[in-house]
Structure 1
Amino acid sequence: MSSATLANSTEKKMKSKSFHRFYDINGWAFVLPAVTLVALFMIYPILNSLWMSMHSGRGVMMEFVGFGNIERLFNDPFFTKALTNTFIFLLCQVPVMIFLSLVLSSCLNSPNLKFRGLFRLAIFLPCVTSLVAYSILFKSMFAYEGIVNQFLMWSGIVSDPIPWLSDPFWAKVTIILAITWRWTGYNMIFFLSAMQNIDKSIYEAATIEGVSKVKQFFFITVPLLKPVILFTTVMSTIGTLQLFDEVMNITEGGPANETMTLSMYIYDLSFKFVPNFGYAATVSYVIVFFAAILAMLQFRIAKDK
């Protein structure tokens, strides 16, 4: 290789490096505001709360306790009750909601159904209503002399009013009904949009072969919706682990803490009881821990062979 060719090649490499360096600098300049905001409002609070979880107290009265807050969790009956209630809501509500969403989306995907748009809107509307407004509405509806008990007694289903908000069992049922009513339509939209992308020739072939609609739903629709089912299940699981608004506004955690959830216990630790921000941060990381574990299990179970 001649000296002229070598010099020319070296010059091109230098220009190429300066070219890439120029675009690297400009690229970082574009993303720097977003990265700064993420670091300031997400990464820093996460790290700060992790450090706070190793302390006890509030404000300038924080005392470093190391893993003392974790030891306290195992001896805290209120934490045990909140954790148990949260998992009861999770195990009872999420499967029912996902199944209802699948069934409703399958029905509303039928081309022969009249007023499909109206039905879709009616089922989806609850998830865009105010959390506080609908919680107060449910509280008044399920009151001892509310419209639900009046209807049940008028129709002869029950002879005495049901203590929806004062009995531990019925209070849990009320919360489950409330969150199912609100979030079923939200998940239904995901399933409905996914169903509309399924090739209709698959159903036509199944119909020709004499496969019933029920079998088509369980053996064609559900397997093809597997990624969407996984997504909605993970998101619903995380949302239920963070359940707060409905419990706070409908039952206030009662009766006798029978509907208190982890999020509400964090609120009580921070603002209602003698404030202990460090211990509240520790309880919040319990939610993070279980959300991560359950998400990994769901991904593992749904993994293709």
Structure 2
Amino acid sequence: MELTRAKQETNTPKKKKLSEKKKDMVSGYLYIAPFFIVFAVIGLYPAIFSIVLAFQKWNGFGEMQFVGWQNFSLVLQDPLFWKSLYNTFIMGILGTAPQLLVGIVLAYFLNMAAIKFTNFFRVSIFMPYITSMVAVALVFGVFFSSNEAALANYVIGWFGIDPVNWKTSEWGAKIAISLMVFWRWVGYNTIIYLAGLQSIPKDLYEAATIDGANKVQQFFHITIPLLKPFILLTVFMSTVGAMQLFAEPTVFLGSSAFSRDEAMTVVMYLYRDAFSLNSFGTASATAVLLLIIIVIVASLNTWLTSGSKRKKGGVKNAKRS
């Protein structure tokens, strides 16, 4: 009996213990699992549900009704959608292009060793980014008030321009919101450019100075080319953020933001369809169209980045040959 038991014990396969590599792999997956679970619940599932809902007719309470491409047809035939898309592009250009140019200049001056209190200026420039959106809207609401004594009307009065009702006029609302976007995000881009400038070796500037290049020539022939990856990054992020513009016009215009079309953006348009008109199908179709536009812009930026890399690779191969 004892011999048979010993044979059975030897014949039964022993459970293999996990190796240290597999234990590390399992523990690593367990550590990152909470992020993916939260992302799947609040990110991935709503995105997939929104795509499915784009082909349905639903008011948020009853049963869904499949309508195919009807929601996309309704959105594309709505003049207000094209107006909101036009407003989004205009305010994106007015608010994005100046902040990128000014951000490069500010970062260049903040990187100069001759300027004193650089830490104070860096914190001051970055402060608008972390300021409450409600506080920003209140301040800009006072600056761009329709009152003749408001700061904006007072300044344009120096040039003989009549007072503007900034919240109701076509271009007044766009300019005011664009300035708000510019003021809020210029510090963020400045910090990114400053990090890029600090990564440029100082030996290049010293060699250029010895060769007789002045500061302007160094800026355009050394700083800008080596800062190109950071410029492409900020252009990409700013462009995508401009296409999703929502908080600034909504808070600035207040309760009348969704009742007029002077400064309505695409995100405001889909928000109005979903939560004011209870048309979740057309709102989801608008979200899908906006996703397609953002993907096109992202692909364009990726193509520009890969193009710069191919160009650099070609230059290196030419040098080797």
What TM bracket, shorter-length normalisation? 0.7 to 0.9
Q: Which residue of 1 aligns with 2:317?
A: none
Q: How does 1:232-247 map to 2 (within 5 A)?
A: 232-247=234-249
Q: What is the alpha-carbon distance in structure 2 between the residues aligned to residue 159 and residue 17 of structure 1? A: 78
Are residues 144 and 60 of structure 1, via their aligned partners in 2, closer, same or farther at CA, if it must alter by over 3 Å? closer
**Secondary structure of the equivalent of 2:283?**
helix
Q: Which residue of 1 aligns with 2:34?
A: 33
CA contact 2:258–2:268 (8 Å) conserved in 1: no
Q: Which residue of 2 aligns with 1:67?
A: 69
| Displacement of 1:83 | 0.8
Of residues 204, 207, 211, the one that matches 1:205 is 207
| Displacement of 1:93 | 2.6
Q: Which residue of 1 aligns with 2:299?
A: 296
Q: Which residue of 2 aligns with 1:11?
A: none
CA contact 1:166–1:254 (8 Å) conserved in 2: no
| Displacement of 1:36 | 2.3
The answer to whether 1:143 aligns with 2:152 is no
Equivalent residue pairs, number: 289
| Displacement of 1:104 | 0.7
**Secondary structure of the equivalent of 2:199?**
coil
Q: What is the alpha-carbon distance in structure 2 between the residues aligned to residue 37 and residue 157 of structure 1? A: 54
Q: Which residue of 2 aligns with 1:9?
A: none
Q: Which residue of 1 aligns with 2:229?
A: 227
Q: For residue 263 of structure 1, what is the amino acid of its counterpart?
A: V
Q: How does 1:35-50 map to 2 (within 5 A)?
A: 35-50=36-51
| Displacement of 1:150 | 2.7
Q: What is the alpha-carbon distance in structure 2 between the residues aligned to residue 113 and residue 26 of structure 1? A: 49
CA contact 1:167–1:255 (8 Å) conserved in 2: no
| Displacement of 1:119 | 1.8
Q: For residue 292 of structure 1, what is the amino acid of its counterpart?
A: V
Of residues 262, 269, 286, the one that matches 2:266 is 262
**Secondary structure of the equivalent of 1:163?**
coil
Q: What is the alpha-carbon distance in structure 2 between the residues aligned to residue 233 and residue 30 of structure 1? A: 34
The answer to whether 1:282 aligns with 2:285 is yes
| Displacement of 1:26 | 4.3
Q: What is the alpha-carbon distance in structure 2 between the residues aligned to residue 94 and residue 108 of structure 1? A: 21
Q: Which has the higher mean CA deviation after the structures are superposed, 122-131 or 34-43? A: 34-43
Q: Which has the higher mean CA deviation after the structures are superposed, 229-238 or 27-36? A: 27-36
Q: What is the alpha-carbon distance in structure 1 between the residues aligned to residue 25 and residue 126 of structure 2? A: 45
**Secondary structure of the equivalent of 1:60?**
coil
**Secondary structure of the equivalent of 1:280?**
helix
Q: How does 1:20-169 map to 2 (within 5 A)?
A: 23-61=24-62, 62-145=64-147, 146-153=150-157, 156-158=158-160, 160-169=162-171
Q: Which residue of 2 aligns with 1:271?
A: 275
Q: What is the alpha-carbon distance in structure 2 between the residues aligned to residue 268 and residue 20 of structure 1? A: 52
CA RMSD in angstroms comes to: 2.2
| Displacement of 1:20 | 5.5
Q: Which has the higher mean CA deviation after the structures are superposed, 190-199 or 252-261? A: 252-261
Identity, % of aligned positions: 36
| Displacement of 1:28 | 3.7
Q: What is the alpha-carbon distance in structure 2 between the residues aligned to residue 42 and residue 162 of structure 1? A: 42
Q: For residue 39 of structure 1, what is the amino acid of its counterpart?
A: A
Q: What is the alpha-carbon distance in structure 1 between the residues aligned to residue 281 and residue 132 of structure 2? A: 31
Q: What is the alpha-carbon distance in structure 2 between the residues aligned to residue 22 and residue 256 of structure 1? A: 59
Q: What is the alpha-carbon distance in structure 1 between the residues aligned to residue 114 and residue 259 of structure 2? A: 47
Q: Which has the higher mean CA deviation after the structures are superposed, 32-41 or 93-102? A: 32-41
Q: What is the alpha-carbon distance in structure 2 between the residues aligned to residue 29 and residue 244 of structure 1? A: 36
